[in-house]
Structure 1
Amino acid sequence: MGRGGAKRVDEQPPTTSSWVEQQLLTTTQHLHSFTQTLKFLLLNDSKSRKKLDNMPSEKETTPPLHISISGSDAEGHETPKTPRSSSGWDGKLRVEKKLELANPEALSDPEYSDDENVIPGETIDADEDLLDDYPLDTQEIDLVHARVSSIPSLRLERFQKVARLCLRQNSIAEIESLSSLSSTLTDLDLYDNLIAHIRNLDSLINLTNLDLSFNKIKHIKHISHLTNLTDLYFVQNKIGTIEGLDGLTKLRNLELAANRIREIKGLETLVGLEELWLGKNKIVEISGVDALKNLKILSIQSNRIREISGLDQLPQLEELYISHNALTTFSGLSSNTSLRVLDVSNNRITSLKGIEHLKELEELWASYNKIMDFNEVGEVLGDKKGLTTVYFEGNGLQLRAPALYRNKVRLALPQVIQIDATFVRVS
């Protein structure tokens, strides 16, 4: 470069060929330096001298490089090409593409689940050691989040008086080796494990409480003989149909929330049922509950219901949770005069009319609807002497005058002690 930044005529820009050759030369020098250093280290290690004899020589490790850089096009002009070694390799690794079905058994097994083959996390090799501190006459075993991977490894046959077995939050994939507890076990808790199929419960006829929530279960099977069950939990599984419950006439509480249920059915024999929890499913209509004469609590929030129906035969119903649906009115509650708690939050209801006859009402949760007329608050709810809690937040009657909202509710409903999430200050 000359003075003033002018380029000299004899300074030619480097070609692609010379630049690549320079880079390859530098790499070769670095490799040679590394080889010499490695030899030095091995010579100072008596245990590695034998390895040195088997090392390839410098000539073998750094073969001469012959690079082809440029070529000519059809008109004879020089064109850049991909660098290649003397053997013709361009430095690109090519792998043959193959498509292989990882789970061919899924084509023939309708109950197949990929989750069954999930490798569990870290486990303890000797699970039985977890019970060393338990006396042999213990009535309760509680191993929550203890990394238990296998029930047989616990050697439960040592314990002859166990009434409650809690194995929550472990890595158990199979229900097994419980027959030794058949005469005493009444409460079995396998919440949050890796169970895909209900099996090996034949001998546990004294069970009153069974919790299989947060597992991988698709079908309710092999429990109809457990006629002493009063509480049954299948929350957060993959159940699509309510089935296999025939004979459970003593069942008091059934929880099937967070599954894949589209229709309420299969409950005809559950004449003693008092609580039914079906939230977070895909139900579009309330039906199939006519036989549940003793039902007191029905939870069916977060579904796809557009109207309240099918409750005419449930005069004992005390609590109805039907929030997060698509309701537009309160119609359909004419026979449910025993209702104490009504939750219709997050729907599309425009008026409070339709609940005038609910004289026993204690709590009304109606947040985030489209109720606009404040006059209805006093007209519809003013005579409910037992009413203690109301939620109207997110409705037009609150959003139009948020500063005056609470005082107006207090004046309209002096019996109320809680408005939304805040208790009314006693003067």
Structure 2
Amino acid sequence: MPGPVEDERPTSPHIELHDNRPASSRSRANSEGQPSPGLRNSKGWDGKLRVDRTAVLVNPEILSDPESDDENVHPGEQLPADEDLLDDEDPDTDEIIVSHARVASISALRLERFRHVARLCLRQNSIQHIEGLSALADTLQDLDLYDNLITRVRGLEDLTHLTQLDLSFNKIKHIKNISHLKDLKELYFVANKISRIENLEGLPNLTSLELGSNRIRTLENLEPLQNLEELWVAKNKITSLAGLAGLPRLRLLSIQSNRIRDLAPLADVPGLEELYISHNAIEHLAGLEANTKLRVLDISNNAVASVAGLAPLDRLEEFWASYNQIADFAEVERVLRDKANLTTVYFEGNPLQLKGPAVYRNKIRLALPQLSQIDATYVKA
């Protein structure tokens, strides 16, 4: 598996304009800032605050105090946008990137000069209002306003050709005014102040929805998203997996760092292939019997003592179970030995590793000879 792709997070003004530059991959990370299992080198988040430790954020309070009120947030120094910032650039460019340049007004950039822009990235600026984009409506497909000071979703009325919209790391409280974006495929609202999933009707082509690091308590109003394949809701306050029944194509669910106890509602999404549910309150794996298509399962940092519920999961390739209460080598062998596709297991931090660290690895290797990786170490042939 390839290594993680780091975010480009310049700490000085960064301006780029050129054609045909692919969108940078977004790496997913766990709460310690390290890549999450199986989530490397691909777009998206797991909601676990994927932030370079050296990054300078325009909106830093979203990390330190996500419950803070707007009136208590110091927005930082704001400088007027330089109206001549893009004067020397090719008017035929199809991509504009102006990041960490302290832009406060989109309108001041006079984007109407550029008639072929398909991707506009204004990351890490001081933008408070979405405006001045109507002139790009015929061509704009990817709008990235990550890490600004936006509080309301407005100004998107004419951008009906958008396929990607990133409003992560802002101060948005409500999902609204996007139901007309029928071509939208990827939608990012990571690290805002959203408490309810709503107003998603009219998005028939959406395949990926990212709502990690918000204030959501319930999985609701997802039924209109009939083509949704990936749902990222980690680091919220969700207590139940109920609400997924209307997602017939869901194949990936990341719901790490919530308050889940019961896996039974996952029977409503039998097509699930990847489940990331670490850092919850799970004590057993009962309820996974119908999820026979699971290839990747991450239950790390829960209170699971038995792997018995994995018996029907014949397609399992990766099982991440670090820091649980699993102690029985015999049961691990009995349940997992016949899974021919299983290549990776993580059991570090469980009693079966802690009670005999010197022999643990060899016992796992003998019990599961099909493995190529045990914890962070590859098995020698």
- Match of residue 412 from structure 1: 367
Instruction: Give 1:403 deviation, angstroms.
Output: 0.4
Find the aligned partners of 1:284 and 1:410 in 2 and give their Cα distance: 36
In the alignment, is residue 308 of structure 1 matched against residue 266 of structure 2?
no
- Match of residue 376 from structure 1: 331
- Cα displacement string for residues 184-242 of structure 1 (whole angstroms, at most 9, x for unaligned residues): 00000000000000001100000000000000000001000111100000000000000
- Match of residue 325 from structure 1: 280
The amino acid of 2:223's aligned partner reads E
Q: Which runs of 5+ in 1 are unaligned?
A: 1-111
| Superposed counterparts of 1:54-203, under 5 Å | 114=70, 118-123=74-79, 125-203=80-158
Q: Could you tell me which of 247, 250, 253 is aligned with 1:298? A: 253
Cα distance change, pair 126–301 in 1 and its aligned pair in 2 (3 A): closer
Q: Could you tell me which of 357, 367, 374 is aligned with 2:312? A: 357
In the alignment, is residue 390 of structure 1 matched against residue 349 of structure 2?
no
Instruction: Give 1:144 deviation, angstroms.
Output: 1.4
| Superposed counterparts of 1:203-218, under 5 Å | 203-218=158-173
Q: Is the 8 A contact 1:322 1:343 kept in 2?
A: yes
In the alignment, is residue 244 of structure 1 matched against residue 199 of structure 2?
yes
Larger RCO (alpha carbons 8 Å, 6+ apart): 2
| Superposed counterparts of 1:31-42, under 5 Å | none
Find the aligned partners of 1:310 and 1:361 in 2 and give their Cα distance: 20
Instruction: Give the ranges of 4+ consecutive aligned residues of structure 1 lying more than 2 Å apart after TM superposition.
Output: 112-120, 125-130
The amino acid of 1:421's aligned partner reads A
Q: SS of the counterpart of 1:142?
A: strand
- Which structure: larger Rg? 1
Q: Is the 8 A contact 1:285 1:309 kept in 2?
A: no
Q: Is the 8 A contact 1:240 1:261 kept in 2?
A: yes
Instruction: Give 1:116 deviation, angstroms.
Output: 9.6
Q: Is the 8 A contact 1:231 1:251 kept in 2?
A: yes
Find the aligned partners of 2:75 and 2:218 in 1 and give their Cα distance: 34
Cα distance change, pair 116–401 in 1 and its aligned pair in 2 (3 A): closer
Q: Give the structure-1-normalised TM-score.
A: 0.72
The amino acid of 1:174's aligned partner reads H
Instruction: Give 1:420 deviation, angstroms.
Output: 0.6
Cα distance change, pair 119–421 in 1 and its aligned pair in 2 (3 A): closer
- Match of residue 179 from structure 2: 224
Instruction: Give 1:120 deviation, angstroms.
Output: 3.9
Find the aligned partners of 1:321 and 1:126 in 2 and give their Cα distance: 41
Find the aligned partners of 2:364 and 2:103 in 1 and give their Cα distance: 54
Q: Is the 8 A contact 2:120 2:142 kept in 1?
A: yes
Instruction: Give 1:307 deviation, angstroms.
Output: 1.5
The amino acid of 2:160's aligned partner reads I
- Match of residue 7 from structure 2: none
Find the aligned partners of 1:396 and 1:213 in 2 and give their Cα distance: 39
- Cα displacement string for residues 306-325 of structure 1 (whole angstroms, at most 9, x for unaligned residues): 11121112121100011000
In the alignment, is residue 267 of structure 1 matched against residue 218 of structure 2?
no
- Match of residue 105 from structure 1: none
Q: Which runs of 5+ in 2 are unaligned?
A: 1-67
Q: SS of the counterpart of 1:289?
A: coil
- Match of residue 367 from structure 1: 322
- Match of residue 289 from structure 1: 244
Q: Is the 8 A contact 2:169 2:189 kept in 1?
A: yes
Q: Is the 8 A contact 2:78 2:126 kept in 1?
A: no
Q: Is the 8 A contact 1:115 1:216 kept in 2?
A: no
Cα distance change, pair 238–126 in 1 and its aligned pair in 2 (3 A): closer
**For structure 1, which segment, 211-220 or 132-141, has the greater mean C-alpha deviation from structure 2 after superposition?**
132-141
Find the aligned partners of 2:173 and 2:218 in 1 and give their Cα distance: 15
Q: Is the 8 A contact 1:116 1:194 kept in 2?
A: no
The number of equivalent residue pairs is: 314
Cα distance change, pair 119–316 in 1 and its aligned pair in 2 (3 A): closer
Q: Tell me which protein shows more helix as a share of its residues.
A: 1
Instruction: Give 1:115 deviation, angstroms.
Output: 5.2
- Cα displacement string for residues 76-108 of structure 1 (whole angstroms, at most 9, x for unaligned residues): xxxxxxxxxxxxxxxxxxxxxxxxxxxxxxxxx
Q: SS of the counterpart of 1:378?
A: helix
The amino acid of 1:186's aligned partner reads Q
| Superposed counterparts of 1:1-40, under 5 Å | none
Cα distance change, pair 243–378 in 1 and its aligned pair in 2 (3 A): same
User: What RMSD over aligned residues (CA atoms) do the two structures have, in Å?
Assistant: 1.4
